[in-house]
Structure 1
Amino acid sequence: MKIRKIVIYGFGKHENKTIDFSDGINVIYGHNEAGKTTIQQFIVLTLFGFPQKNSAQLRYEPKAGGKFGGQVHLHDEVHGNCIVERVQGKSAGDVTVYFEDGTQGEEEAVKALVRQYDRASFESIFSFSLLQLQGFERMDETELSRTLLSSGTTGVDTLLRVEKKMEKELGDLFKKTGRNPEMNVRATELKEMEKELKSEQERIAAYAPKMNRIHEIEREWQEAKRAYDSLREEHRALELELQLLPLKERKRKLSSRLDEVRTSSFPSDGIRRFEVISGRLTEMEAKKRGLEAEIAAMEQKMPDSPRPEMLSAIERMLAREPEWHDWRSTLGSIRETKSQLNVKRMRLLDRLGLDKSDALLRADVSIHQEEHLYEQLQQMDEMGRQIGYMDRQLSQLENELRDIRNEQLSLQRNSPTEMERKQAEEWPSISSRLAEAKAYVQMSRSNQGDGNPQMLLILLIVAALMSIVGLISDQWIVVGLGACLAVIAVLFKIGKRGGQPTNKDAEMERFVDAYEGQAATMEALIMKVNDYEQRQSRLAEAAKTIERKMGVLEEEYGAIVQGKESLEHSLSSFFLAYGLRKIPNSGILHEFFGMARSLQEIERELEDIERQSQTIQDNIHLRQAELERLISIDVPESSIYDTLRSEYISLKEKMQLFNTLSHRIEEYQTQKLEAEELAASLRSQQQELFEEAGVETEEQYYMAYAASQETLTLTHQIEDVESQLTALGSVEDHIERSENQLREDIHQVGRELAGLEEEMGALVKEKTSLEVETEKLLTDDSYQRKQQMFEMKKAEFAELAKQWSVRQAIVEAITGMMEELKEKRLPEVLSRAENIFSELTGGTYMSLALSENGYFQAVAQNGQRYPIIELSQATKEQAYIALRLSLAAAKEETAPFPLLLDDPFVHFDETRFSRMTAILERLSAKHQFIYFTCHDKIVEYWTNATIINVSDIGSAKGAMTR
């Protein structure tokens, strides 16, 4: 593809310009600010589209207005000759492609023409400048190698930008030794929450041992009960054995003892009933005490009674939170809009040169007023042009008059003297007389010497010639001299026969001798006098003519100046009313009125948004007052809803806690009441047993029980003894133990029974205490809340870990792709680049290579490898340019684009620059180069290139080339 010509309608500082290019190397030369970069950007933007209006890139819209855009004439191997025209329209401009077969295309045709390349891809290969090389000195080895790699392979710069972005986001998510990254923060929170959960688990872990202990107590009580019953039986057996002592003694003693111990009736199964009642009574009292303690603890934890209406009011306010945020967001947008409008307003005031805008805001900026002012300004401009024209004419006439005066003075200084004037006036008559005298003398001599007919003929011819010349040149003196000469010749012919000289001959000879040598001097003097008089007359006439012209022009000039001053006064008064200190140019009048209308529109917009802002601020202040009444504290506006939400959560938790504790207290009160009622019932039953036994205390009851038991035993023993005595008549003793021993055994069994009773009571008390504690553990839900919060944090950490994994996968994929580019695509480019680099450095470096860690190295002649960071600035740039040129050569078949070079060789020495020009001239056989430079010396190196001087670019006639 070759660029044949560009036609600029309007682009930056260029307007109506045409530049022709050749196939090989084209050098665009011009001093700074001449517009070289503007031409480069015109080519790129015409092919790939104008930037968005809000983009940071320049759009190069015409400075003086007019049509924006232009044409690029191309010759393409596939599409032939075509023209790409792009003008102002949509954001990227309206583009039309004209093919040589008469067909037309739009954006798709341009994309096909540029082989689907975008601007970034094109500039990464086929367009580079000094700016891309100036950052090499500040790069480290990694950055420099990556830059060289991206210059040698397409698309790598995009991958590197994505990789840097992903690595930054990875660092924001997680660092091994970091504290602030999100995952590090979440991990620290999880560790702290895990410690709290472990503490709660340890506290809850006590529940199972307590339940096990309760079950163990129940088993121990059952075992003690069985042991107690067994001992009771043993105790009875020992007592019976003791009672089988000698029957008679026994009967007597028993009877005596029976008389001593006999009491009223004892309740049936009274001791078992009493012990069951006592055990249950003890259990109920312990339960009651435990419930009372729990109720007291809950009452201490009980918060103040919450207000449901407060909670409802906060809920209503929280439901209206989006409205609050909308207000704040709208207010922020309004402030931003207001700031932007104020910036626009100040920019317009600066461009208008005004300090205040009050007068301009009240001014009439209608189209009718603009047209009227435009006509007046046009009229004033026309008057100014007329005045300027007249000034130039008057100045020219003054200069001409001054030149004439100077010439008159110079002529006056060289004027003839009075004597010279007199001599010039007398010479014609003297000259006539001299000619006559000469003729007379000659004829006289001829007559005396037989005559000379040839002399007569010569005199007649001279007389005729003098007459003709005088007539032609309008010199009547010469004509008179010719006539005199002819008369003399005739007289000479008539009087040639006289023989002797006369007095007249002598007089004539004396006259001739007196004036013979003065003819030439006198003729020169006559010419001098005549010339002086003619020039003096001509100069005087010219001076009068110029003075007349100057008088007429001065009259017209005064009239026009007076009219212009009147019009200027009128316009100055008008524009002073607008706040302007001087009258604007008619060319910017439309822009002035446009800016004035924009300023009025901005002022109206500012008034509208100020009213809207005040309304929203009033709403915010009212809402803030309502919220502060609810939370009863002064809170910053930005965090008031966060505080309200915290207050709502706190009130809700208090209400939940209050309801939970109230419910539990009611349950415990009910349980306590039931325990009290059951204890009262048990005490009543116990009292009934006391009344039935005829006692008042427990000790008396047990004594009565013992007496009743003893009575019963004695009665049975007596009956047995009597039965035995009746049956046997006499009783033989078969007792193996003594009475004391039996009594000791009975006493020992009694102590064991008492120990078992005490042990059973202690077990009942312990069981009651453990049941209260386990009930308290079952009703505590703090562990569940912490467990739920822990799971939420774990989910957040998992989501962050997922994001980290995705970004790490992208980095790994880019790294793999970079390795593939190095292994597959880079070697082809490197092989070409090595030759160019070696030629540029004069063989100092033979090739470019990649190290194992991916860094570029330059290989010297001796095989020594130098990291690219250790090379000089120019050598680094040469490596970069070699890779760029090699990549462009590799893309010759798929993307045969011209190369745009913006002065990238300024750091090269003379030798290497000569090598660079030789390389480009060799490559120009297949590639078109457009080289932009501002250096005069560099231009001299391009002997075979087309030199285009930007400073001499004309309009439609084309650029000046050499």
Structure 2
Amino acid sequence: MKIRKLVIYGFGKHENKTIDFRDGINVIYGHNEAGKTTIQQFIVQTLFGFPQKNSAQLRYEPKAGGKFGGQVHLHDEVYGNCIVERVQGKSSGDVTVYFEDGTTGGEEAVKALVRQYDRASFESIFSFSILQLQGFERMDETELSRTLLSSGTTGVDTLLRVEKKMEKEMGDLFKKSGRNPEMNVRAIELKEMEKELKSEQERMATFAPKMDRIHEIEREWLEAKAAYESLRDQYRALELELQLLPLRERKRNLARRLDEVRKSSFPSDGIRRFEMISGRLTELEAKKRGLSAELTAMAEKIPTYPRPEMLTEMERLLAREPEWHEWRSAVGSIHERLTQLNLKRMRLLDRLGLDTSDELLQADVSIHQEEFLYGQLQELNDMNQQIGYIDRQLTQLENELRDIRTDQLSLQKNSPTEAEKKQAEEWPSIRRRLAEAKAYVHMSRSSRDDGNPQLLWMVLLVAAAISIVGLIGDQWIVVGLGACLAVIAALSKIGKRSDQPSLKNVEMERFINEYAGQEAEMEALIVKVQDYEQRHSLLEEAAKANERKMGVLEEEYGAIVQEKERLEQSISEFFVAYGLRKIPNPGILHEFFGMARSLQEIERELEDAARQSAEIQDKIRMRQTEVERLVPAGASESSIYEKLRSDYLSVKEKAQAFKALTQKIEETQMQKQEVGELLSSLRSQQQDLFTEAGVETEEQYYKAYADYQESLTLMQQLEDIESQLSVHGAGEDVSGRSEGELREEVHEVERRLADLEEIMNSFVKEKASLEVETEKLLTDDSYQRKQQLFEMKKAEFGELAKQWSVRQAVVEAIKGMMEELKEKKLPEVLNGAEKLFSELTGGTYMSLALSENGYFHAVAQDGRRYPIIELSQATKEQAYIALRLSLAAAKEKTAPFPLVMDDPFVHFDEMRSSRMFKIMERLSAKHQFIYFTCHDKIVEYWTNATIINVSDIGSAKGAMIR
């Protein structure tokens, strides 16, 4: 399986982004916070579902809103080219799989595509990062060996966690020589309780005979009580019989009267049924007339039925609408691809310094030619490095200058207006005048109120003191304020003779009313203006200093370039044949030839894409011709299916209207027929009522009803008496006993009840005496309580033993499974891992071995075995990575997934990293690698890989690929 492209609608910080991948190694490069992890999570979550909202994993919903989700374009050896699209919907998202044959699928299709793997299984084999390697230093030998074992076999890590948990819980339940585990504590308690129960049993043995007599008395008392209750029931029955004698006599009299009156019959509920049938007949006759009128109106409105073959053809074309959109999408994708290829071609030409590619397409870009040029350009390498260093410094300064300009623009947007600046400049003067006005008005009012000359002199003294303080401190504003206060006091002295305020006083009050209450607002405005001017000045100084540094660097850059041109002059003629106007850097000679080869490959891809576009355009024109036969001409290509759908809905609506009206006519005719049949039935029921009542007319029918009511009244009275008798459970009197006989029998039962009461009282007295005797010997129920507590403890102990047995069975099953994994599955992975581990360590260690107790050892060249815990951090990581890569290789046939790595080699030195990269390049023939990194050296190493700079990812135009 290969990932061809990612189309991100909205995921985290990425929105409307497209990223293309290729076979082999794909390096996703970007600085911290650039969004690399977001892309890695997009791949995993699109294939395996978004996390739950309450999950610890992030959902990466778009920061700025918009559509959540995207597409992953795949190529699979079994399913071919397909697209997995997942967007926001249910908790894990709504997923759709588009196959190249035009079919689609849902979650089941995704599971089949990922070979029924879930996210945890995928990440345990095919995705790992530096975070999984950072905990090695803190592991002991057992934890480290188990981690390596789980990396070489899928599912082992889960089994190991379960085994450890079960062993801990078993230890908490029972230990052979322990005292604190729950089962040990319960066993000790049971032994002590068993001794106490035996003691209680011996003490209770002396009370058995007396208890037996008490039980015998209770049994005899119960027998006497049963006989007493039976006589009581007989007594109540005789009393009831005496009470019911008058009711039975009344019942016999009503029965004789009913036999005399009952001479006519009448239908049950006859009047209500007759009136209901009469009303229903009137209603149905009116309904029948309405249905006839409705049928006539619908027959006039029925439309013409449209041609069925036209509707069928429209449905066929609409069913193939996804194919039409897929063609158009494919054309757009091809155009996008052509645009990207042309852009890439232009970028390559720009980087090569060429206007056209004609000369370079015919040029020799073989390895021999590259080696020949490399020797000549090696002399320019040092100078190119200097130029690159200065260029990076200039870029950094440009970025800093751009940030300064951005801050200036942001500051300018929030700058105070000219009116605010003017208000801030004028406010000190206004504030001084406002204070003078307030003092003047206050003094004027005080003078008018009480005319106190002492207050005037006090104000003058205060004014003099303020002026002296201002003179001492060289604060002329304070001196002016004191003088103003003195003038105001003098003026108030002059104007105190008048009862009305002076014109100046009125002017001062108007000034106070205009500006009073604005002090806080204007002070805040002054602070805002001062802060703006200070920040503006600082930003201007920073920009000028940055520009001066850039000028110095640019001068140095120009001097180095001149020296470089002198060296390039001697070999410039060699590159004329390649169409180059300047000599490339020796360090990028390999990149130049790689770009030249890429340029030739792009030209071939452009020709292939143009051919595919022409074929699809032919299909689009043929489909457009088919659609235009059914819709009026003139519709554009983008709206032709909308027009077809609109016409189809119109035709279908006419057909549905015709069918609906036809169906309604048929239903109305059936309703009319049913109404007629119901009318006949009701007339027949009306005649049946007349026949049952023995009459022929409606008047005779009502007269028969009146005759029937008297018999009903008598029957109701008879029923009331029977209901009273039934309440007491009395039936017919078959004994024939008189009232005197019943009363004599009642007296006999009363005598027998008195004898039984005397016998029962004697039993009660004897029992009470025995209970008093036994109470001194046994006054509590301690034995029962201890017996019950003993049984409860036994049940608790049994439940704990059951729990311990279950956990023991689980541990034994996991151990058996682990042994089977070591013997059958792990050797295959270890064989491949040994070769990789040996290559990674440069032959220092020849293989990895697993001891009988489950610990990993590294075998050196001399045969010595070193426990994995004694190796360095980097060597432990090499063993882990070797096992993971070997496991992925072993599952190539059943799970051919790409390998996703997030900077797992940062602890490796340069030599170990070089070996690791060579192994990845060798494995990339069968596996696709997606490598996330923020290190420039890794990008520089993989010149032949697909480099995707996350910082340069554009919108729908795709990612920047080098």
Larger Rg: 1
TM-score, normalised to structure 1, is 0.41
TM-score, normalised to structure 2, is 0.41
